[in-house]
Amino acid sequence: MENIADITVVRNLLNKYDLKAKKKYGQNFLIDEKVVNDIVSEVENDSFVIEIGPGLGALTQKLIDKCHKVIAYEIDEDMVNILNDNFSDKKNVEIRNSDVREVDLSEVIRERGDKDCYIVSNLPYYITTDLLNQIFMSSEEVRKVVVMMQKEVGQRFVSSTDKKDYNVVNVLADLYSEYGIVCKANRHSFFPAPNVDSVVLRFEMKEHEVDHEFIEFVRDCFTNRRKVLLSVLKQKGYEVSEELFNKLGFKESVRVEELSSKDILRMYEALK
Ligand code: SAM
């Protein structure tokens, strides 16, 4: 089949099925083959991939050729019909019509039994943080995540100084993965063009065990990020004290946004 990441092909496909890109599902289709190739090159040959939000199949098409199995979750039934028509002759792809937020990804990965799983996603940006949280909580089975993000959000993610919006997901990403920017994708890489530019990030998972109590602790720390952490934790019922903060080398007035992920982990360990 011809390359799907192309403005004429995207327009023709939408016309053929009498469809328009749906805003409610954040549908902006990739029409930039370089971005597609950059994303797909992050995935190892012959691997198992979960794709989230395949749309018309720009990424799916190349993943099918490269990987031994692709499972793709797409919320929009119209897209699912197009994908099933176009990839009907491909045996290594399964298109599942679901909202990924309702899917237990770790169960899907465990059922497959593959050792290394890659997750590739170009989703609406408002879902990305939830998705990353979900993945970090099941990341023992995931080797690498490649995800498109709004440019500013992605750049803040990789910045060591700009901690505005720093949150639970950043702490988990810091501790559980090595991350970096794969490529940029400006708004004209999509049809229809969104109002913002994007970047693609990779998260390479480190070997670790997901500690749900620690994740709960991080959530508690961030319940009020602008308040003094000592009182936030006291209010949450933790046995923290000025002495403990001093012993760990933190000011009594410190806020969570002033601490590094490793500091938060140190505090959790001291409280255990
Ligand atoms: N991957 C395609 C591409 O790069 O051209 C489409 C990207 S488009 C930005 C996002 C896709 O995610 C759309 O096809 C949309 O229908 C789908 N989507 C949106 N919300 C979703 C959800 N909660 N679960 C699964 N798919 C979703």
Judge whether 206 and 177 are in contact, CB under 8 Å.
Answer: yes
Q: Name 2's Cβ contacts closer than 8 Å, sequence gap at least 6.
A: 9
Expressed as residue numbers, the domain containing 224 is: 212-271
Domain count across the chain: 2
The CB of 25 under 6 Å from ligand 1? The reply is yes
End-of-domain residue from the set 153, 186, 205: 205
Higher pLDDT: 165 or 177? It is 177
Both 15 and 143 in one domain: the answer is: yes
pLDDT at position 26 over 80: yes
| Cβ-based burial of 60 (10 A; exposed 0-12, middle 13-18, buried ≥19) | buried
**Residue 140 and residue 224 share a domain:** no
Task: Return the top range by mean pLDDT from 87-91, 128-132, 258-262.
Answer: 87-91
* Shared domain check, 160 and 221: no
Which pLDDT belongs to residue 139?
A: 65
CB of residue 122 inside a 6 A radius of ligand 1:
yes
Q: Residue with structure tokens 């700009």?
A: 162
Q: Given ligand 1 and candidates 27, 49, 82, 87, which is best to mutate, with the most ligand atoms within 8 Å of its CB?
A: 27
Q: From the CB of residue 94, how many other CB atoms can be counted at a distance below 10 Å?
A: 13
Same-domain pairing of 199 and 220? no
- What distance in angstroms lies between residue 102's CA and the mean position of ligand 1's atoms? 15
CA of 157 to the centre of ligand 1 (A): 22
Answer yes or no: do 41 and 148 share one domain.
Answer: yes
- pLDDT at position 164 over 80: no
Burial class (CB in 10 A: 0-12, 13-18, 19+), 181: middle
Tell me if 154 CB under 6 Å of ligand 1.
no
Task: Note the pLDDT of residue 138.
Answer: 72
Q: Specify whether 142 is located in the same domain as 25.
A: yes
Query: CATH no. for residue 87?
Result: 3.40.50.150
Ligand 1: which residue has its CA nearest to atom 1? 54
Asked whether residue 261 falls in the same domain as residue 156, the answer is no
Quote the DSSP letter at residue 223. Answer: G
DSSP one-letter code for 256: G
Domain assignment of residue 123, yes or no: yes
Decide: 194 in ligand 1 pocket, CB within 6 A: no
% of the chain surpassing 70 pLDDT: 99
Average pLDDT over residues 1-6: 94
- Residue 156's pLDDT band, with cuts at 50, 70 and 90, is confident
127 and 166 share a domain? yes
Q: Name the domain boundary from 181, 205, 229.
A: 205
CB neighbours (10 Å) of residue 223?
12
Contact (CB, 8 A) for 114 and 48: yes
Q: In angstroms, what is the span from residue 123 Cα to ligand 1's centroid?
A: 5
- Asked if 174 and 218 sit in the same domain, the reply is no
Contact 271, 181 (CB under 8 A): no
* Same domain (yes/no): 108, 54: yes
pLDDT band at 31 (very low <50, low <70, confident <90, very high): very high
What's residue 113's pLDDT? 81
pLDDT at 59: 98
Q: What is the rounded average pLDDT for all residues in the chain?
A: 93
- Model confidence over 215-225: pLDDT tens digits? 999 999 999 88
pTM of the predicted protein model: 0.93
Nearest-CA residue for atom 11 of ligand 1: 53
SS3 37: helix
Task: Tell me, yes or no, whether 130 and 254 share the same domain.
Answer: no
Which residue, of 178, 205, 232, is where some domain finishes?
A: 205
Q: What is the pLDDT of residues 200-259, one digit of tens each?
A: 999 999 888 888 899 999 999 999 888 999 999 999 999 999 999 999 999 999 999 889
| Listed residue (175, 185, 183, 163) closest to 255, CA to CA | 163
Give per-residue pLDDT as tens, 75-109: 999 999 999 999 999 999 999 999 999 999 988 98
Nearest CA to ligand 1 atom 8: 27
